[in-house]
Structure 1
Amino acid sequence: MPNLERFVIEQSAPGERMDVFLRRRYPAMSRMAIQRLIEEGFIRVDGRRIKPTHTPRAGETVEVEWPEARPAAVRPEPIPLEVLYEDDHLVVVNKPPGLVVHPAAGHESQTLVNALLHHCAGRLSGIGGVSRPGIVHRLDKDTSGVMVVAKTDTAHLGLARQFAARQVAKVYHALVCGTVLHDQGSIRAAIARHPSHRKCMAVCEERGREALTDYRVLERLPDATLVEARLHTGRTHQVRVHFQYMGHPLVGDLVYGRRANRRLAERYGFDPPRQMLHATQLTVVHPATGEPMTWEAPWPHDFDETLRRLRAGPVIT
């Protein structure tokens, strides 16, 4: 791929920083990685070096020089992967529950990235940085399902643009507490960082970012509902927060639905091992061929087993 990318800013963004502006354009990159590229002179405006705090102005030409990918500091590990599709440009996997996507504090190994480095023999896009090679989007540790990973920088940029432009179709299956009354509906509620619990998100119309989830009921159970959710935005914890907002937190989600899950556990005599959320389907346009592609991932065993237990009805009435 060309090492240099240029684009013209179409609209000024007063009050916004350049690193935040570019984070929206390149969502696969962390803000820290963008700041590092700016500070090292790889990102310039009208040919001159800037600071991350530079205000984007209409008509400015932004140059992004992608540096050669450094060898990953993360070690390959022979962790089994369920590969749904693979070619020279990307690999699609069914991520199991409990697997962290990329190394971070407390999870320096045994991550999806470690597994991918082994599976792909190190041939992954370097744009995400040494700790996130190939990673274009993420699933929570305890969320399972379809993930697409870029093997080349060209594929990485192409996929990242689709995610940023909301051109990716994302379908999830979830078990939620209680009976969802309407057969289908939409949840439009802005999401922001929780004001006091910094690892959590919350609905906040004043300072939140737009979030839209469509849903339909697949099956009603005695004390829970199996739903399908289609995400039109990609906010952190979006499905979990939106269904909590509806009064139906996810089964097994002790972060957003501890009280409801405590009642469920008392009636059914078991505790689900995680939040029952599975990314069942993903549709993107292939970044090299331009063809739409859809992949589906079957439910993992714990999702099936939890559904079976809930279908059987409560043991304590």
Structure 2
Amino acid sequence: MTVSSRSSARQGGITQGGDRQGGAAPRGSAKAAAGVAALAAIGPATWGTTYVTTTELLPPDRPLLAAALRALPAGLILLALTRRLPRGDWWWKAAVLGLLNFGAFFPLLFFGAYHLPGGVASTISAVMPLLVAGFGIGVLKVRPTRRTLLAGLVGLVGVALLVLRGSAAVDAAGIAAMLTATTLMALAVVLSKRWGRPEGVSLLALTGWQLTAGGLVLAPIALTAEGLPDHFTGANVAGYAYLGIIGTALAYALWFRGIERLPASSVSFLGLTNPVVATLAGLLFLGQTLTLWQLAGLLLVVASVLLGQNLRRTRRA
């Protein structure tokens, strides 16, 4: 994205295809947008494995420690690789985004993972497109289309079917944590779209700034509140390494790339690949089953993702 296009994004002028309003969509832009969307979807698809990884590989009852060890090491590695620090107002912008995406989001995410079945926990994120649409009105000055709202409602119905009709016990605190986490992430998507990326700064560097900022907030809290386990098993190390390298550093770099190049509404629907993968992981690795109502909810979530991608229409946000 060029400097001028990032400026347009900050003014709320980015359209559905990523072009400035009033300009013709370049030939092949829909195909390119589909490619960007496919790569961006790898991020939330990877996050869908967080729940099974947490329950099967990580030490029990340490959500803050899991969040800190997922964020801080990955952030420091990216800082070492890119050798680039924020400048000017990007010190506080990176801190804000780091808090929303990681410092506050991760603990809530892991709390939900410890207290809810994976499919239920991740599928709550289906409310994110509606939240992004609401935040987008105020921050980006972009009104959601009827298609976006319809797709968001379809996803919300899918959530209701999975959560309210599921046979698994539903923990109220876990639900509240996941809803709060989803709200924070929706706000982060909109602010990332609003602020863009500093000229000459790579996505890996920007990702490293945010991970480090969030990790620095999490680490002292985790050590004080939970401490370290008596020992780390090989499974624990493998779980933390997978979440930090694949599920965080790589996944978030692809996710931020999608935010930069796609409309916020389209990106928010890609996040719904998370519950699909989480549910499949629960079926394959945890022996979970689906009721007919839950299966219907899962299908509605998939339909919501597809309906929310409107890559050929380039004139509306």
TM-score band (shorter)? under 0.3
Q: Higher relative CO (CA 8 A, sep ≥ 6), structure 1 or 2?
A: 2
TM-score by length of 2: 0.24
1 or 2, which has the higher strand percentage?
1
TM-score by length of 1: 0.24
1 or 2, which has the higher helix percentage?
2
